[in-house]
Amino acid sequence: MKYKRILLKLSGEALMGERQYGIDPKRLEEYAAEIKEIHNKGVQIAIVIGGGNIFRGVSGASNGMDRVQGDYMGMLATVINGMALQGALEDAGMQTRLQTALEIKAIAEPYIKRRAVRHLEKGRIVIFGAGTGNPYFTTDTAAVLRGVEVDADVILKGTRVDGIYTADPEKDPSAVKYDTLTFEDVLNKGLNVMDTTAFTLSQENALPIIVFDMNKPGNLVKVCEGELVGTTVNN
């Protein structure tokens, strides 16, 4: 396998499957099967999930809710998603640990870097919930931050699109896909890969990002084997 330790970033919306909101158990099973395949090949796996399928702080703020309050609600949504994925992974026979940036001792460990690394070394899958624990920071930023902290080899951003395009391929049929990009290319072309804070943190730490279609069976293992799947952003 090309990568020994990965940070997999999943969007909350991805867990909806064909639903309008919430969590689709079938999609969880599919993701668990994909993750088990690379786990069995010895890849150490850390995961960050968004909370957009349950609550998004920005939309709450636009409806008159305090932004900070909304963001904390979003963090709790990521914990719910983390628990759901944890259950699916354990049903598939894997050992997991859920660590959260906000202390919720009844259901998860508090985030401690050394403990997280030790879990990874023992072959446990570590799910990081509650983002960074701070409002105004996205789960993209949390993913890169945790990836840097646990010394991941790469950030794998699993989406419903098979890479980065010149424009939104769902809106513009003439959009062209990039196979590889540099961090400078992304900035110069104004491409939307991650939010600016996350992207800058990844660039400063020379942590590559691969954007790929998580919903296509087999893609995750192909990425970890080093096949050119999706779009790779590197220095």
- 8 Å CB contact between 126 and 119: yes
Please tell me whether 93 is known to bind a ligand. Answer: no
Please tell me whether 231 is known to bind a ligand. Answer: no
Please tell me whether 139 is known to bind a ligand. Answer: yes
CA pair distance 113, 99, nearest whole angstrom:
10
Please tell me whether 110 is known to bind a ligand. Answer: no
Please tell me whether 232 is known to bind a ligand. Answer: no
HSE (CB half, 13 Å, CA atoms) of 190? Answer: 2
Please tell me whether 159 is known to bind a ligand. Answer: yes
Q: Tokens standing for 104?
A: 């919720």
Please tell me whether 9 is known to bind a ligand. Answer: yes
Residue 179, exposed/middle/buried by CB under 10 A (0-12, 13-18, 19+)?
Answer: exposed
- 8 Å CB contact between 124 and 47: no
- 8 Å CB contact between 50 and 139: yes
Please tell me whether 51 is known to bind a ligand. Answer: yes
Please tell me whether 178 is known to bind a ligand. Answer: no
Please tell me whether 71 is known to bind a ligand. Answer: yes
H or E stretch at 142: helix 139-149
Please tell me whether 132 is known to bind a ligand. Answer: yes
Please tell me whether 208 is known to bind a ligand. Answer: no
The annotated binding site for ATP is made up of 9-12, 52, 56, 159, 165, 168
The annotated binding site for UMP is made up of 51, 71, 132-139
The annotated binding site is made up of 9-12, 51-52, 56, 71, 132-139, 159, 165, 168
